[in-house]
Each structure stands twice: as C-alpha cells, then as structure tokens.
Amino acid sequence: MKKLFGQYAGLRREMYIIFFGRVVTNMGALIWPMLTLILKSKMGLSASDSANLLLLLGVLQLPCTMIGGKLADRFSKRSIIIVCDLVTVGCYLVCSLLPISYLFVALFFVAGIFAQMEWPSYDALVADMSSSADRERAYSLNYLGANLGLVLAPTLGGLLFAQHLNLAFLINAVSTFCSTVLIFFFIRDTRPTQDASPVSRYEAGHQGSTWQVLRRSKVLWLFLVCSAVGEAVYSQFNFLLPLNMEQLYGQQGAVWFGMLTSVNATVVILCTPLLTARFGRLRDTAKLLAGEVFIALGFGFYIFVQGFIPLYFVAMVVFTLGEIFTTLGRQPYLTRRIPASHRGRLTSITLVGGMLCQGAALKVVGALADHTPLLLVWGLVVAVAAAVAAGYALLRRADRRAFPLLYK
C-alpha cells in the first residue's frame, strides 16, 4: 500500500492542495448523482421531459465552458476557480432554503453552469503543475481525490433524497466553500512547470489561433470525436442507470443507485493507484482503448442482470475499471500533444464536444426510455461504446506517426 501511494511523492506542493480540495468538495457532492431522480420523482417529469431539462442545462453550459477556456489561458486559473466556486456556493445555499420547484431547478442550473466554467481552469492547472513525465501521476492523483470524497456522498444523498433533500444542498454548499478556502490560502504559485525533455517540444508555445493548432494535426480531431462520443456513453451512468433503478424499485431505486455510485468511487480509490503503477508505461492510446472496452462490457452486463442486485455491483466494478483507464489516458493524451499556451481553450473544446454528444444522447435515450424496453436502450448504448473503442483502435495506429517522440 505504501508503495502504491508513494508513487505520488515528488509532485509540486500545489498538486496536493488541489487533491485535498477535490476530496473536500466531493465529500458533499450529494446532489448531482441524484439530478435525474429529482426531476422525475420529485417534480413528476417524464424521462423525456427530464432529458429535455438536462439538455437545456447542457446548452447553457456550452458557451460558458468556451468562455472558461478562454479565460483560463488569459487570466489566473486560481482566481477563476475561486470566483466560480463562490457563485456555486451561493446557489446551493439558496436551494437549501427553497421547496422543490422550477426556481429551485433554475438556481441549481446556475450552479452547474459556473461549476462547468471552472473545469478548463482546473484541468489546465493540473497540467501546468506537472511535467510531461509526471502528467499521468498528477491527473491520477487529482482523479483519486475526486473519488475519495465520493465514497459515502452518493449513498448519503440517496438516504436524504426522500425526506431531507434541502439538507443535502446545505452539505454541498459547505464542502465546496471549504475547498475554496484551501485554494485561496494555500495555492499561490501557479507558474507552469519548466520541462526540458525532448517531448516538451509538442507543448511549446504557439502564437496562432486554437483552430490553427488543431489544423496542424488531424489525429487530434479523431481524438476529439472519440472522446466526445465516449462522454455520451459514459453519461448513461447518471441518466439511464438511475432510470433503470427507478423503474425496477421505485423510490428505493435512489438508494440502490447511491450505493452503486459509492461502489464506483470505492473501486476508483482502490484501483487507481494500482493501475497507475502497473500500467504506467502503457501508452495513452492503449489506455483509452482498454477503457472503452471495459465500459462497453460493464454496460453490457446490465442487459442480462435486470432485477438481480448483486450482479449490478459486479457490472459497476467492470464499468469503473473502464472509467479509470479512460481517465488515465484522456487528459495526459491531450496535454502532451498541444501547446501549453492553448490548454484552457483546447480543454474547453474537449468538454464542449462531450457536452454536445451528451445532450444528443439524453434526447435520444430519454425519448426511447419512455416508449421502448430499457433492455433495447442498453443495447444501443453498448453498440455506440463498441464504435468508440474501434475509433480508439484507429487512433493508436495514427498517433504513432503524428507524435513519434512520445513513442521512444
């Protein structure tokens, strides 16, 4: 165990502050996993109407994410995170005082918009705080921190869902504020890490536009497409799965879904250090391919285990292994191949692509869920996941030619 966690030693001090901030924030992340159930069970909306509202949230987040990426490349990433967090905290506090209504949902959407706006700054800050060689360990630690906080939060959210939803919002506000305090007082130096390795030439500054950067490499376009469609598949963890639980178990489905989410976080905590150490030399593209294969297998399980709870947890373990591999591959892949001067903007493009595909998936899956057996819907999701895996297989071959220094 000491050896596994010892691999994170030697990173910049600021990375550990970001890690603890992630832990604290997600300890109170009781609401987002329950959003689909809030719309359907608390507000009485159909699956299709719930999907439409989530799609609206995604549409509102799109320009804000692009703005967040632009701001991250021009201004202090630390300041952007602090401001966005404070707005989010304010919205959560007001929500904790309101009854469930469309005003309640509107405030929650405002919180979601600002939370999304800060993501390019967070991702770019992690890249700034690490060299190319340390990039995977840095993102692994950041990911581990996010999930450490999520071990109990979803289960607690499921227990509070029926009678004490407002308390869940209050807990969310307090945890986010504590994370903001950590960043405000303990992160001061945000200058990018100096990297003298040969592969750093791919991260050298570039004076052109974002589109000029993308135009230099068609391989990046293939990555962006696969990543975006992969996000549409992954989003069914928080949409189709809770709908499935609600259909099978009614209000008790929120508790089961919370437990499944906690299992997801637990597997991430136990396996992320192990997989980081064991497969640290595996290429980013191989991790992306392995991740999508596991995600397809995990979701495929749900077709065959309907109504048998123990096997739902087995399926969640398989799915989570895919999530870990994908996470360990995605951001290191992107940040090793783009100029440091454009990290915020290109990260925002990755996020926006994922959001567009998630929105389309919500619309399609929501409409199908109202009129089609969920087993068939799961089959469609698995088929799309298999197509993404095929795309990553193509990416593996093309990437070696486009970025040869990363394969020496």
* Whole-number Å distance between alpha carbons of 68 and 62: 10
Residue 241, both tokens: 């799965």
The type of residue at 206 is H
Highest mean pLDDT among 88-92, 152-156, 187-191, 196-200: 88-92
Look at residue 221 in the predicted model and tell me its pLDDT: 92
What pLDDT is attached to residue 209?
76
206 has a pLDDT exceeding 70: no
Phi then psi for 31, rounded to 5 degrees?
-95, -50
> How far is residue 105's CA from residue 39's CA, in Å, rounded to a whole number?
9
Cα–Cα distance measured from residue 224 to residue 207, given in angstroms and rounded to the nearest whole number: 22
pLDDT band of residue 369 (cuts 50, 70, 90) is: confident
Count of C-beta atoms within a 10 Å radius of residue 364: 16
**Range among 68-82, 283-297, 349-363 rated most confident:** 283-297
Mark 141-156 as b/e (b = at least 16 C-beta within 10 Å).
bbbbbbbbbbbebbbb
Residues 6+ apart with CB under 8 A from 337: 202, 217, 219, 220, 403, 406
Which tens digit of pLDDT belongs to each residue from 63-118?
A: 888 888 888 888 888 899 999 999 989 998 998 888 877 887 888 888 888 888 88
d(Cα 293, Cα 386) in Å, to the nearest integer? Answer: 7
> What pLDDT shows up at residue 299?
93
The answer to whether 36 and 257 are in contact (CB under 8 A) is no
Cα–Cα distance measured from residue 408 to residue 400, given in angstroms and rounded to the nearest whole number: 10
- The Cα 298–Cα 318 span in angstroms is 5
Q: What is the mean pLDDT of residues 340-367?
A: 84
Give this prediction's pTM. 0.78
What is the rounded average pLDDT of the residues 202-228? Answer: 80
Max mean pLDDT among 116-125, 174-183, 262-271, 391-400 falls in 391-400
- By percentage, how much of the chain surpasses pLDDT 90? 19
394 or 157, which is more confident: 394
pLDDT band, very low/low/confident/very high, at 33 (cuts 50, 70, 90): low
Residues 6+ apart with CB under 8 A from 93: 169, 170, 173
In order of 80, 113, 242, 331, the CA distances from 162 in angstroms are: 35, 26, 15, 37
The CATH architecture annotation of domain 11-187+206-407 reads Up-down Bundle (1.20)
Contact 242, 257 (CB under 8 A): yes
Above 70 in pLDDT, residue 198? no
User: Residue 244: what pLDDT?
Assistant: 85
Q: Does residue 372 have a pLDDT over 90?
A: no
Kindly tell me if the per-residue pLDDT of 199 is higher than 70. Answer: no
Considering only CA atoms, give the Rg of the chain: 20
125-145 confidence digits (pLDDT tens): 888 888 877 888 888 888 888
Give the mean pLDDT of the chain. 83
User: The tokens of 82 are what?
Assistant: 């602090």
Q: Which of 320, 265, 274 is nearest to 297 (CA)?
A: 320
Give the model's confidence band at 36: pLDDT under 50 very low, under 70 low, under 90 confident, else very high: confident
Which residues, 6+ apart, have CB-to-CB distance to 20 below 8 Å?
Answer: 145, 182
**Would you place residue 287 in the very low, low, confident or very high pLDDT band (cuts 50, 70, 90)?**
very high
Amino acid letter, residue 23: V
Amino acid at 101: S
**pLDDT bucket at 214, cuts 50 / 70 / 90:** confident
The pLDDT of 31-46, averaged and rounded, is 74
Mean pLDDT of 139-156: 78
Count of alpha carbons within 13 angstroms of residue 376, beta-carbon side: 9
Length of the chain in terms of residues written: 408
Nearest by Cα to 344 from 121, 187, 25: 121
Query: Residue 203: pLDDT above 70?
Result: no
Domains of the chain, by residue range, sit at 11-187+206-407
Residues 218, 119: contact at Cβ < 8 Å? no
